[in-house]
Every structure is written in structure tokens, then in C-alpha cells.
Structure 1
């Protein structure tokens, strides 16, 4: 009788037919090349931060620093533009019998406000998209264990920023319809609650209660599609950077990868957002409290009749500390979640498309020389 040769390629063909466990999956970078657990995703994101510090921290600091400078310049320009209109505005307010200033007096302030608001929103969208593209570029190198510097990540990420902005805006427009309906439903709840409180018992109270119930049901019905769409498209930014997809193709790609795995992806995304939000909030609170120390010390030295220059100097120091705290929050919330969401994308492709083989081959192939 033939000798028992074991149970497969990893069996012991020797005497006794013993069995040895298969070898562990390859891990050229921050994650093993197999379906990932939640802990491995969080650990892979933290390992990426640790290995690529210059890019992970340097790019967000530069981007949000420039964003803060641009916003500050916009505010200064807006204040300079309305400085000549302030006396006329104050005279119009103080004029006897005037209930509100005329439009001619309000127009410069309205224009200045919306100009600053436009700079604020456009700059924030650009900054967030740039940092998100950079974090995904970092992860693309981290998964296969390749080195990446500030400059290489910047060159890799910058061309994908327009497509990433388009993807964000397109997914936002798609999710806006149920979101607006949800806002309408919440407004119905508020109105219904107010009417119910004012009506008391009787027919009016019954009608108000029905009105309130309809608003609650409407809010639930409209919130669910908005959340579903948000998770459905959450992997689209990774498709933009990893696969160089356009906005529409990236949304379609994300929908394919999320299909059948909506609940796990939703749960991990919420967990990561909570972790980043809590850490950012704690850092901002600590820095904000530390900012009060020089403020209180300086306030005690001002005396009973402080000079305006001293007051402005004192407040400027505090505002700088608050700005640094805000920037620290931006950095935390714009780095950790994109890294984990990128690993969610890698995990789904490993599960559904056997991406592990291609990643192992890519890790074994040296990168092309940079010119």
C-alpha cells in the first residue's frame, strides 16, 4: 500500500501523515494581503501615518496653512473694502425714525460677507480634496511597501484633485435630494411640535399630533436614502486615485464594491469618523484651554484703562492659538478617515477581485525610475 502523502501541498509527506498550517499571507506593506479585519484596517492606517510622517503631516499642514492665509487675506480685504461705508451705515442706524438701514448702506457689507464666504467654501473644498488625494496616494505606496516622500506624494496626488472634487460634488448633488426632503420633514416636526404645544386638547390638538407623526415618518423615510447613498459612494475617492477613474466611473465603481457589504462598510466608516472626531475635539479643547493661560495673564497686566494696542495684541495671540487648534483638528479629520476608507476599498477588491495577487506582484516589481 502506498505511503500516506498528507492532505495537500502543505501536508507533511513523511511518516505519520502530519499536517502543517499554510504559510501566512505576504505582507509587503502595512497590511497582510488577504481580507482584512477592522483592527487590521485601523492598524494599517496608523502604520501608514508612522511610516510616511513627512507626507501625512506635511501636506495637510501646508495645504490648510495656505487655506488659512487665503481666508485671512480675504477677510482683511473685505474689511478694508467696507471701512469707508461704516460711518454712513452707523448714521443710518442712528437716524431717528429709521427701522432698518437702506439697501445702499447694507450693500457693501452684504457683498463683503458673501465674498469671504465664497473664498471660505471654495478654499475648503480644494484643501480637503488635495489632502484626501494625498492620503490615498500615501496608502497606495504603503500597501505594497514602497517609499514615498513629500514631493513624490504631492506629484502623485495633485493630478487627481480635479476628478476628486468632481466626485465629491456629484455624490453630494445625488444625496442632496433626500437630504433636502429630510430637512423639510424636520421642519414639519418643529412646526407640528409648536402647534401641538399651543393647541392643547381638542380637534386642533389631534390635528397637530397627526401633523407631528407625519413629519417624523417623513424624516425617517428621507434620511434612510441619504445615508444609504453616502455609504454607497464612500469608496469613490479611492477609485479616483487608485484606478484614475473619472467622477461618474468612480461612483459606479464604488457602488459595485459596496454591493453586498453595505452594513460592514457603514459600521467601520461611522467608527472611524467617531474616533477622528473625538481625537480632534480633545486636541482642540486642550489647545483652546492652553490659549486662555496667556490671555488671562496678559489681561491681569492691562490695568484699569488698557490701551487698544495692548488689547489687540493680546487677542491676536489667542486667535493664533485658536487657529492652530482648528488646524490640528483639520489635520486629524482629513488624514485618518481617508486612510481607513482607502483600506476598505483595498479590502473589498481583495475579497471580490483577488487583488492580493496583483498587489504581491506589484510589491515584487521595482518602481520605475523617477526623472
Structure 2
């Protein structure tokens, strides 16, 4: 029997070992995992909320005039352009905040897993420093993976759009069903390739944190580790995503019900001619419940699948590089971290 100093035995891992190790890591290091997640996504939510409040205060008069017109008259460009720019900026801020938050979680989960595999304690501050130090490399790795995986799909869509433009310019009599069929064939042709590339590079973020690799080196490392075991990694990753998705849905249900009840109570206090500010106040309980449910469920989605992916990385190194004895030796060394 291989030794088991931490959440997994230091030998080739079965499906039960991987899922059990992920759940054990959540149980033993839940404070660090969810503490980092709450800080990251809570901070992102606070940034978006602050930007939304600033945007609303900047264009409140324009919004009032747009709503006063109703559907009888089109709003003037002097009103809808500032509103569009303001809330477009909020969307951009939200996108950037989500990208930074995701990169931090991709870095934090393997940092915690490093200690969990060896059975060593760690602290919030130690994980935060490690994750922050590796965040730029993880961001580059995830961005490169996304770009590489999306290239075939984008090419297929570009060809489809060119085909549609050509048919329109030729005034063809072909049915829209033909265009839909061609677009579907393009997606079906490129979808497997996109999936194959995504799984091929799925272990790269773990390589960035475990081995201090750069983005390109991490992609090459992931490609070598996945080789010969693609289907197994694909299946386990898909299962982990399904478990996280179902758990996330079940978590959001009570928050959604609570929000609907709060929204009904708030709407009862609205007058006959409500203004935007009163509507926001009346629906604040509903919005808050939804945001809280989304935050809690996001913590599950952002931690469990990366934990499984990190354990798959460790498993592949144990199987192909005989990493088990090295980990067993490292587990006997006292941990080096500062509180």
C-alpha cells in the first residue's frame, strides 16, 4: 500500500481516490479555500457594485428622461449614448474583475493542494502570497489556452459568415435551413477539436503553480502529461464539472426563493408611479439574495473542479515520473511557511 500522508495515497490514483481527495481537501482546508474565494469574489462583487453605483449616479437624469418617454417616443442620443457608455464601462469592469478573480482561484487551489497532498498545514496569508505571485503566469496560461482552443471555432464561424454574405450578395434562393445546417456542421466539426485542445492543456495551471513554470512551458508540460490518458482526464473532468454544477444549482435554489419572496414584499410598497430609485430599493432584497446565492455557488464551482484537475496532474506525474517516493520524502520534512 502506498503511504498516505495527506488527502490522497502517493500512488496511482483511482476515480474514488481523486474525488475523495478533492472532498477531503475541502473538509481539511475549507477555511483557506473558501476564505480565498470569498475574498476574491467578494472583492470583485464590491468593485462591480461600486462601479454600478457611480455609473447610475452619473447618468441618473438621462435614465429618468428615457423612462419618461416610454414606448411612445424614441430616446434622444443625448440621453441614451451616455447611459450606454456608462453601463458598458460597468460591464468591462465586471469582465476584468471576473478575469482577475478566476486567475487568483486557479493559482490558489493548486497552492493549497500542494500542502494537502503532503498533509501539511497552511495559512490564509501563505496561500494568498503564493497565489498572488503566480497569478500573472496563470492568467497568461488560461488566456493562451482559451485562444488556442477557440481558434478552430472562430475559423468555422468566419467561414459560415462568409458563406452567408456570399449567398446574400448572389441573391440566392436557398432556404435559411441550408445556412443553419451548414453552421451546425461547422460547429460539430470544430467542437471535438476544441474539446481535445482544452483537455490537452487543462493541467497547465497546476504546472504553473507546482513547478513555477511560465505559460508556454506549462502548456507544453500539460500536453506531455495528458498524452496517453486523454479520455480518462476528459471523463473525470466532466464528472467534476457536473458535480459542481448540480451542487451550485441546489445551493442557489433557496436563495432564489428567498429573493422572490423579498421582491414580492418590496413590490407591494411601490406606488402607482414608481421612479427608478424606488424600484431599485424595492428590489434590493431580491437582488441581494441572488447575488449572495451566486457568490456561494461560485465558491463551489471555482474550487471543486480545479481541485480535481490538480489531483489529476499529481496522478499523471506519479504514473509517468514516479513522483510518489519524492512526495513521501517531502511529506517527512517539516513545512516551511510563516503565519
Is the shorter-chain TM-score for this pair beyond 0.5, marking a shared fold? yes
Aligned counterpart for 2:49 among listed residues 72, 76, 90: 72
Matched, 1:63 2:31: no
Are the structure 2 counterparts of residues 150 and 222 from structure 1 closer, same or farther at C-alpha, using a change threshold of 3 Å?
same
Alignment-derived partner of residue 199 in structure 1: none
Matched, 1:120 2:94: yes
Aligned counterpart for 1:224 among listed residues 184, 192, 208: 192
Are the structure 2 counterparts of residues 100 and 297 from structure 1 closer, same or farther at C-alpha, using a change threshold of 3 Å?
closer
Aligned counterpart for 1:258 among listed residues 197, 211, 226: 226
Structure 1 window deviating more from structure 2 (360-369 vs 259-268): it is 360-369
Structure 1 window deviating more from structure 2 (286-295 vs 238-247): it is 286-295
Alignment-derived partner of residue 287 in structure 1: 255
Matched, 1:53 2:30: yes
Residues 59 and 134 in structure 1, CA contact (< 8 A), matched pair in contact too:
yes
Aligned length: 332
Alignment-derived partner of residue 147 in structure 1: 121
Alignment-derived partner of residue 236 in structure 2: 268
Residues 126 and 337 in structure 2, CA contact (< 8 A), matched pair in contact too:
no
Are the structure 2 counterparts of residues 188 and 331 from structure 1 closer, same or farther at C-alpha, using a change threshold of 3 Å?
farther
Are the structure 2 counterparts of residues 30 and 365 from structure 1 closer, same or farther at C-alpha, using a change threshold of 3 Å?
same
Are the structure 2 counterparts of residues 304 and 367 from structure 1 closer, same or farther at C-alpha, using a change threshold of 3 Å?
closer
Cα deviation 1:74-126 (Å, max 9, x = unaligned): 111111222344466679x6899x76634x44331232122111100100010
Residues 185 and 215 in structure 1, CA contact (< 8 A), matched pair in contact too:
no
Structure 1 window deviating more from structure 2 (347-356 vs 210-219): it is 210-219
Query: SS state of the match for residue 50, structure 1?
Result: helix
Q: TM-score, normalized by length of structure 2? A: 0.88
The offset of 1:370, in angstroms, is: 3.1
Equivalence map 1:62-141=2 (5 Å): 62-86=39-63, 101-102=76-77, 104-141=78-115
Alignment-derived partner of residue 242 in structure 1: 210
Equivalence map 1:348-363=2 (5 Å): 348-363=316-331
Query: SS state of the match for residue 29, structure 1?
Result: coil
Equivalence map 1:327-346=2 (5 Å): 327-346=295-314
Are the structure 2 counterparts of residues 282 and 94 from structure 1 closer, same or farther at C-alpha, using a change threshold of 3 Å?
closer
Equivalence map 1:151-230=2 (5 Å): 151-183=125-157, 213-230=181-198
Alignment-derived partner of residue 325 in structure 1: 293
Alignment-derived partner of residue 20 in structure 1: none
RMSD, matched Cα: 3.0
Provide the rounded CA distance (Å) in 2 between the counterparts of 1:129 and 1:75. Answer: 23
Alignment-derived partner of residue 36 in structure 1: 13
Structure 1: segments with no counterpart, 5+ residues: 1-23, 196-202
Structure 1 window deviating more from structure 2 (140-149 vs 129-138): it is 129-138
Residues 185 and 219 in structure 1, CA contact (< 8 A), matched pair in contact too:
no
The offset of 1:53, in angstroms, is: 1.7
Work out which structure has the larger RCO, using CA pairs closer than 8 Å and 6 or more positions apart in sequence. Answer: 2
Structure 2: segments with no counterpart, 5+ residues: none
Cα deviation 1:182-220 (Å, max 9, x = unaligned): 44578799x8xxx9xxxxxxx957x76665554433222
Name which one, 1 or 2, has greater alpha-carbon Rg.
1
Residues 267 and 283 in structure 2, CA contact (< 8 A), matched pair in contact too:
no
